[in-house]
Structure formats: C-alpha cells, structure tokens
Amino acid sequence: MEQQPGPSRGAAGTGRAAALLLIPVAVGLGVWFVGRGLTPDPESSLFGARYDDAMELKARLGTALLGLALVQLLLAARMYGLLPGSRPAPRAVSTVHRVTGLLAFLLSVPIAYQCLSAYGVELTSPRVAIHSITGCVLYGAFAAKVVVVRSHRFPGWTLPLVGGLLFCAIALLWYTAALWQLNGFRAPGLT
C-alpha cells in the first residue's frame, strides 16, 4: 500500500528504516562502479541512433522525461493539498502519479543505458562530472522512492524529500546535458 502523507510513525523502527536506506545507497554506488569499471563503447546506439544522432535523441527524450517529472511534481502537490481542489485528493490522482512515475523510470532507462555504455561515468569536466554523478543519484533516488513508499517505517516528511530529490536529479541531468545539447553546447553557468 502506498504511504499517504501523514505524521511520523514513531522511533520504534528507526534502525530498520536506516537499514532500508542502505538499498538506495547501494543502487547509486552500483551505478557508479559499473560506470567507472566498464569500457566505453562510443558506437553504442539508442533505438538505432548513434553518435550525434544518439545525443540529439537523448536530449529530446530527456526533455520528455523532465515533462513527466513536472507532472509528478504537480500531482504530488495536489495530493499534499498545496493546490486548489477537494481534500483528500481523489484516488485517481495517486493512481496517475504512480503510472507517470513508472513511465518516467522506464523512459530514463534507455537514455541512461546509452550514456553508461557509450561513455561510462566520466569526470572529465565539471559539467560532465555533475551529469555523471547525478545519474548515479537518480537511480539511488528511484530506489529510495520505492523503499519509502512501500515501508511504513519512515516519518511523513521522507516521501516529499525523496520525491524532491528525484525531481532535482532529473532537472539537473536535463540541464547539464539535454539543454546543453539542444542549446548549441551552451547552458548558463556551464562550460
């Protein structure tokens, strides 16, 4: 059952909750070590697109991913009563939130897979390092979201915190690569 916004369930399960958070940490570190360890294959394709075409496609799919993340943010705001409308929010709002979240995850996987297989986790410039590290954080945050939604051991503020981290990771990935690509290899503050 999905955890509804609500008060903390007390300190009894604090140790167990902390142990559960090792799962997202392990996922993020797993992506890091896979990305640092593999031999990049620049010919790696994304739905048949390679090199510049793959970058362009990733930038467009990444923009669609950001769109889904914005929808998620609005749906979450509606569930938490931050937008006008009846309270509690209709059940359909959380159903759409779950479906859109799954779609966002599924959309991110081929993009991240192409990045990982073509480049790995690179630290060659501040922009590329921020992008690569944020990619690791993204999958840690996806795992954290699932852990927190499925468990009743976390205080009520944990879910919006993890959801916010997920949104920020997607926005930063988009800014450091998709915007950069679509804007002629320029983005404010990035070189």
Q: Give the binding site for ligand HEM (CB under 6 A).
A: 31, 35, 55, 58-59, 62, 65, 108, 111-112, 115-116, 119, 121-122, 128, 131-132, 135, 138, 173-174, 177-178, 180-181
Which residues pair with residue 187 across a beta bridge? 190
Closer residue to ligand HEM, CB minimum distance, 147 or 177: 177
Is 63 buried (19+), middle (13-18) or exposed (0-12) by CB count in 10 A?
middle
In the complex, least distance from residue 127 CB atom to ligand HEM, rounded to whole angstroms: 7
* Contact of 58 with 115, CB cutoff 8 Å: yes
Nearer to ligand HEM, 147 or 170 (CB): 170
Residue number with CB closer to ligand HEM (4 or 125)? 125
What are the structure tokens assigned to 91, written together? 């059940």
Closest contact distance (angstroms) between CB of 35 and ligand HEM is 5
Closest CA to 160 of 1, 2, 5: 5
Using DSSP's 3-state secondary structure scheme, residue 46 falls into strand
In contact, 24 and 158? CB cutoff 8 Å: no
Nearer to ligand HEM, 31 or 165 (CB): 31
From CA 144, how far away is CA 166, in angstroms rounded?
Answer: 9
Return the residue nearest ligand HEM (CB atom): 135
Task: Give me the least distance between CB of 68 and ligand HEM, in Å please.
Answer: 11
